[in-house]
């Protein structure tokens, strides 16, 4: 039983090793109890040889994972690799037992800590060093993330914090991104509610830019960006969707997606592990509310991307504004937002609705 460093030590966790060698951690509100073998869909490890190449004009890395093309795609209902194994003849990724959330190394990773040196290639080719983990939100295949109880959602926040800390332990990982991509409209291949963690051995462009911008703001004004942002949004009020005291949700004044929602701690923090147990619980309540509003907006499952933005891990960056971004992909019922010329070719979004209007609609959703 591993120590699970969570504020208040309210939660439980246990580490396991799968037959193919991959690590698995089970997390729970109650003590972990496993009642079947620890499974893996195949006893053999996938021979992952991820590679990175440098994009000289965009100044960013591109990941190549040629072993990924054969990965599981919309499996028939009788086989769900994220459900607890019911038939030992057809093992899934998870055992039966008492646990709420499970985290394991992705079988088809875009990055691994053991990536071998690639064969000689074009300039700027190197091993795809990092990690990719799968976070299964629930044992139930049918639910949504928003169906988690407030306590389970608080556990998830603690799990993200714990994984971030543990991934950083070897000193190789410099940035961790937790995310959930939901909806068949955006290519999700497994419908069992789950998210992912990408751990990079460098600071990716988005996090680097956020850090640079926030550091400049702090240097110029002497105050953290996140604190001023929360104060301004609370003062105006028209874009605040829910204010829970220790955390709040806002359609930011610079929303790129029509119903883009940010879930933030009220007190500036750089990482989830900086938050107290009460702050994590408040963040969890606001996140659950925000997800429910997105589904309530058009009366269906809103396809979305959720990303958790935390400070880089190779030092202390108190200026970095910890926050969760939700990108809902529908801008009206049945009308997807696609990233087209200006978004992809110039890096600037066009949005058809002002954030004040979107926030009003989200506030009016009857839950």
Please report the DSSP string for 190-253 in residue order: --SSEEEEEEESS--HHHHHHHHHHHHHHHHHSS-HHHHHHHHHHHH-TTEEEE-SSEEEE--T
Q: Which of 4, 11, 27, 61: binder of a second copy (CB under 8 A)?
A: 61
194 noted as active-site residue:
yes
Catalytic annotation, pick one of 192, 194, 309, 323: 194
Span near a second copy by CB under 8 A; candidates 6-14, 75-83, 197-205, 277-285: 197-205
Residues 206-265 touching a second copy, rule: CB under 8 A, are 206-207, 209-210, 212-214, 217, 225, 229, 232, 236, 253-256
How many residues bind a second copy (CB under 8 A)? The answer is 80
Task: Tell me: does residue 30 bind a second copy (CB under 8 A).
Answer: no
Beta pairing class for 194-200 and 175-182: antiparallel
CB of 232 vs a second copy, minimal distance in Å: 8
Task: Tell me: does residue 26 bind a second copy (CB under 8 A).
Answer: no
CB of 77 vs a second copy, minimal distance in Å: 20
- The whole-angstrom separation of Cα 26 and Cα 8 is 19
Choose between 3 and 119: whose C-beta lies nearer to a second copy.
119
Q: Which of 1, 57, 366, 367: binder of a second copy (CB under 8 A)?
A: 57
Cα dist. 276→10, 267, 295 in Å?
12, 11, 29
**Pair 238, 356: CB distance under 8 Å:** yes
Residues 71-130 touching a second copy, rule: CB under 8 A, are 73, 110, 121-125
Choose between 171 and 338: whose C-beta lies nearer to a second copy.
338
Residues 136-195 touching a second copy, rule: CB under 8 A, are 175, 177, 179-181, 186-187
Choose between 149 and 342: whose C-beta lies nearer to a second copy.
342
**Structural tokens at position 100:** 């709420």
Strand order in the sheet with 247-250: 12-17, 23-28, 101-105, 130-136, 194-200, 175-182, 304-309, 323-328, 261-265, 247-250, 240-243
**Pair 61, 179: CB distance under 8 Å:** no
Residues 269-328 touching a second copy, rule: CB under 8 A, are 305, 307, 309, 321, 325, 327
Span near a second copy by CB under 8 A; candidates 25-33, 90-98, 137-145, 347-355: 347-355
- The whole-angstrom separation of Cα 364 and Cα 238 is 12
Element (H, E) at 25: strand 23-28
- The whole-angstrom separation of Cα 17 and Cα 25 is 8
CB of 294 vs a second copy, minimal distance in Å: 16
CB of 217 vs a second copy, minimal distance in Å: 7
Residues catalogued as catalytic: 194
């Amino acid at each position: 039983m591993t120590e699970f460093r969570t504020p208040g030590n309210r939660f439980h966790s246990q580490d396991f090793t799968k037959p193919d060698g991959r690590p698995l951690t089970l997390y729970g509100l109650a003590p972990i109890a496993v009642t079947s073998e620890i499974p893996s869909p195949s006893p053999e490890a996938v021979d992952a040889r991820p590679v990175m190449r440098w994009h000289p004009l965009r100044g960013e890395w591109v990941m190549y994972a040629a072993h990924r093309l054969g990965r599981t795609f919309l499996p028939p209902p009788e086989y769900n690799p994220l459900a607890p194994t019911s038939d030992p003849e057809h093992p899934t990724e998870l055992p039966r037992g008492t646990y709420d959330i499970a985290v394991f190394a992705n079988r088809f990773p875009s990055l691994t800590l053991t990536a071998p040196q690639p064969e000689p290639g074009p300039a700027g080719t190197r091993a795809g060093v990092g990690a990719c983990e799968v976070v299964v939100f629930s044992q139930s295949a049918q639910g949504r993330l928003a169906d988690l109880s407030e306590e389970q959602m608080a556990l998830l926040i603690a799990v993200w914090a714990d994984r971030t800390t543990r991934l950083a332990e070897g000193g190789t990982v410099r940035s961790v991104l937790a995310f959930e991509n939901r909806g068949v409209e955006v290519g999700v291949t497994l419908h069992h509610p789950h998210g992912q963690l990408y751990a990079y051995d460098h600071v990716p462009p988005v996090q680097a830019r956020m850090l640079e911008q926030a550091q400049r703001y702090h240097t110029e004004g002497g105050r953290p960006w996140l604190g001023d942002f929360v104060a301004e949004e609370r003062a105006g009020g028209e874009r605040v969707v829910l204010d829970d005291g220790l955390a709040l949700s806002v359609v930011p004044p610079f929303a790129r997606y029509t119903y883009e929602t940010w879930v933030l701690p009220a007190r500036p923090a750089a990482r989830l592990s900086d938050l107290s147990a009460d702050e994590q619980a408040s963040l969890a309540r606001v996140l659950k509310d925000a997800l429910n509003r997105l589904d309530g907006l058009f009366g269906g499952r809103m396809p979305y991307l959720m990303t958790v933005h935390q400070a880089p891990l190779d030092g202390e960056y108190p200026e970095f504004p910890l926050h969760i971004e939700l990108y809902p992909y529908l801008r009206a019922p049945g009308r997807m937002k696609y990233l087209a010329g200006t978004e992809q070719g110039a890096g600037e979004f066009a949005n058809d609705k002002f954030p004040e209007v979107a926030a009003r609609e989200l506030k009016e959703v009857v839950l």
